[in-house]
Structure 1
Amino acid sequence: MKFITDVIGDEPELLTPLIAMEPLTIVDLFDRSVVLFRYEVPLGGWSHESLCSLDIPIPRLQGADAYLGQEWVGSTEI
């Protein structure tokens, strides 16, 4: 899983205080109604580092997208 929550140069911050306090949901790439994993918000909220440090056990050939609340923040396809 790759997350797009790091800020490079003049890019906008995706992890606003509200988004950072949303649970992380990992859904099937082709059927978003299929929730593969759900992670509760860590104390203090999500950071790019805390997202990247997760060991999400997605099978190698399964595609998935990551959302904090309704905000898309990552995928196996990037």
Structure 2
Amino acid sequence: MITFVTDRRPGEPCIIQGHEHDPLVIKNLLGEELPKLAPPQPWTHERLESLPLQSLMGEWLERGADAYLGEQWVGSTEV
């Protein structure tokens, strides 16, 4: 399961800002990419959290993966 670190606490910067329309990129720990997911609407923390990634990517995620919006790191299975 990917843990997204896109929720904000007071005083923290928003790491999604400027990347709301970038595709979601999932890379395994070897750097191999799954097909990118384009956002139907701008990404938010809630939209990222609601993605059924486990059912879509199952075993692929078990090997470890990182998530990016474009080039911006937003989460990992290793968090």
**Residue pair 1:3, 1:73 contacting (<8 A) in 2 also:** yes
The aligned length equals: 74
What percentage of residue pairs aligned between the two structures are identical?
A: 41
SS of alignment partner, residue 36 of structure 2: strand
The residue that corresponds to 2:64 in the other structure is: 63
**Residue pair 1:4, 1:74 contacting (<8 A) in 2 also:** yes
Per-residue CA distance 1:26-54 (angstroms, 9 max, x = gap): 0112x21x1124211122x1000000000
Measured on the aligned residues, the alpha-carbon RMSD in Å equals 1.3
The residue that corresponds to 2:76 in the other structure is: 75
For structure 2, the residue ranges without an aligned partner over 5 or more in a row are none
The residue that corresponds to 2:34 in the other structure is: 36
TM (norm. structure 1) is 0.85
The residue that corresponds to 1:48 in the other structure is: 45
TM (norm. structure 2) is 0.84
> Runs of 4 or more off by more than 6 Å in structure 1?
none
Mark the CA change 1:37 to 1:75 in structure 2 (over 3 Å): closer, same or farther: farther
Residue type at the aligned position of 1:9: P
For structure 1, the residue ranges without an aligned partner over 5 or more in a row are none
The residue that corresponds to 1:23 in the other structure is: 23
Higher strand share: 1
